[in-house]
Amino acid sequence: MPKRSRKTPRQSQSLSTAGASGEEEEPPSDEVRAAARALGSLGGKKGGPARARKLTAEQRSEIARRAAQKRWRKV
């Protein structure tokens, strides 16, 4: 039995339409990539401390307890 393509139908469609129209997308420049990388890492640095300020010690403890139970639960 032949294997099917790993590409999603959207990927296949976009490849076929791009080739038919003669358009080629140029990859983003290094400056754009650097800016996107900086914005992405900034979100994690903001969210964690803001959530820590909002939660009480009991709430953090309860969240940690539930997470540990999920990690160590038998499957």
pLDDT band with cut points at 50, 70 and 90 for residue 60: very high
In this predicted model, what pLDDT tens digit does every residue of 22-37 receive, in sequence order? 666 777 788 888 888 8
- Of residues 3 and 2, more confidently modeled: 3
Give the other-Cβ count within 10 Å of 14's Cβ: 13
Task: Give pLDDT, residue 6.
Answer: 76
Bigger pLDDT: 25 vs 39: 39
* Residue 70 scores a pLDDT above 90: yes
Using alpha carbons only, give the angle 62, 60, 39 rounded to the nearest 5 degrees.
135
Show Cβ contacts of residue 56 under 8 Å, excluding neighbours closer than 6 positions: none
Q: What is the pTM of this model?
A: 0.41
Structure tokens at 6: 């790993």
